[in-house]
Amino acid sequence: MARCRRVRRRDGRRPRPAVGRCPPRLADGGVARAARTLGQSIYSLRRNQWSMTDGIVAPFAALYQYWGTLAWTILVVFLAGIVLERYDKEYARSVFVVGWAVLSVLWVASIYQFIFDQKSITEGIGVLVGIPLSLWIGYLLASGRDQLRVLSRAVGVMWLVYLPASTVDAIRSPLIDTVTGHTAWVLSFFTTEFSLVEGSAFPSNVNAETAAHTVSFLFQNPEQGYNVVYTIQLACTGLGSVAIFAGLIAAVQAPLRRKLKALGAAVAIIYVLNIARNVFIAYSFGLQKMHLFPDAIVDLFALTSTYKVSYILADRIIAQFLSVVALVGITYVVVKLLPEVLTIVEEGIYVFTRKEYDLRQALDVGARTDGGSDE
């Protein structure tokens, strides 16, 4: 290989660097100084990005502190609207409009929980859509779309089911314990490489912080050098889905027997599918069965450890996507048992499209009307 020679011009001045010829030389220690400068620049850039992110997250974190107050306010407002419907529908409509406005603020407060804290794609999108959607429904209702009062009643019942169960420990703890026990029983058919730990009574080599009343799944793998702790939370009980269908069913006018039949079917399907979901997540996360594309997942979700990759893929992506599909399927089952619920579904479609649809014929559903006889 020919040596690179530097040639001076006839006028004695240094020639300009040419592509493919001699690269410029660094003085002694120049490489070290350049590397140090580059490292400082990268650190400064990352620090600025972190500062910028903190500046964005802080307002949402502050607003999230008022989530409980907003939630109880929504419950009171919508229940007040339901009661007022019996006496003054116009005044009740105004109250419902206020409830939808407060609900939009609650979705803003939920951004911190679902996007920044839990990093949930499905729930994050739902929250972002819920903000303008709530305002839009309130606007349509205020503009005279009285059919949306049925949807407003449904929201009131949803919060009546969900909020006390999620905030009252006497209801929440037994529900979580029951779901945990059933999940452990089904999981034992697939693997026995786990143990149940009450509270924070973990072995000395496990560093985990859980509430005193909880029961967690512990997967120990000393060969791989990691321990996985998986704890069933309220969101893992299916309570939110049950509340949704309880609200839809309670809001329409139909014979009580058919309402109870539809609700029983919905709750049973939700509970079974929810146990299957928990088992899938526990198995995939605890045994690291979904450790795929670790570098991409770590960067995308800003994880601090690669062992959480299995959890993100199993729960945040696969399970949550399938949950949406399951909700659509359960809605179809409920509609077949209680066609009156289509009134709310059709109103939901109208909110998005501003077009009227009759889904009874498309879904091959009987022509029962609100309050019709029980066949």
Is 139 in the same domain as 174? Answer: no
Is 210 in the same domain as 307? Answer: yes
Is 253 in the same domain as 301? Answer: yes
Q: What is the pLDDT of residues 72-81, one digit of tens each?
A: 999 999 999 9
Residue 212 lies in a domain: yes
Residue 1 lies in a domain: no
Q: What is the pLDDT of residues 186-222, one digit of tens each?
A: 999 999 999 998 877 777 666 666 665 688 899 987 6
Instruction: Identify how many contiguous H helices and E strands the chain contains and give both numbers.
Output: 13, 3
Gap between the Cα atoms of 223 and 208, Å rounded: 19
What is the pLDDT averaged over residues 37-64?
60
Is 187 in the same domain as 322? Answer: yes
Is 106 in the same domain as 190? Answer: no
Is 140 in the same domain as 185? Answer: no
- Quote the pLDDT of residue 374: 42
Is 338 in the same domain as 245? Answer: yes
**Which domain-ending residue is among 88, 112, 146?**
146
**CB of 200 within 8 A of CB of 209?**
yes
Q: Looking at the predicted structure, is the pLDDT value of residue 372 above 70? A: no
> What is the extent of the structural domain holding 86?
48-146
Active site residue 236: yes
CB 152: neighbour CB atoms within 10 A? 24
% of residues, the chain, pLDDT over 70: 79
Measured CA to CA in angstroms, residue 9 lies from 13, 15, 17 at distances of 6, 6, 12
Number of domains in the chain: 2
Is 246 in the same domain as 360? Answer: yes
- Quote the pLDDT of residue 373: 41
- Quote the pLDDT of residue 213: 65
Is 129 in the same domain as 215? Answer: no
Is 175 in the same domain as 217? Answer: yes
Query: Which candidate in 172, 236, 258, 316 is catalytic?
Result: 236
Return the structure tokens found at 3: 């040596």
User: Which residue type sits at 355?
Assistant: K
Question: Does the predicted model carry a pTM greater than 0.95?
Answer: no
- Quote the pLDDT of residue 212: 57
Q: Looking at the predicted structure, is the pLDDT value of residue 26 above 50? A: no
% of residues, the chain, pLDDT over 90: 54
Residue 24 lies in a domain: no
- Quote the pLDDT of residue 22: 39
Q: Is 195 in a helix, a strand, or coil?
A: strand
Better-scored residue on pLDDT, 308 or 103? 103
Tell me the H-state helices in 189-287. 239-251, 256-286
**Which domain-ending residue is among 97, 114, 146?**
146
Helix (H) / strand (E) containing 215: strand 215-221
Query: Which candidate in 93, 149, 172, 277 is catalytic?
Result: 277
Active site residue 153: no
Is 82 in the same domain as 207? Answer: no
Q: What is the pLDDT of residues 236-291, one digit of tens each?
A: 999 999 999 999 999 999 999 999 999 999 999 999 999 999 999 999 999 989 88
Better-scored residue on pLDDT, 170 or 54? 170
* Residue 28: pLDDT band with limits 50, 70, 90: very low
Q: Looking at the predicted structure, is the pLDDT value of residue 6 above 60? A: no
Is 100 in the same domain as 200? Answer: no
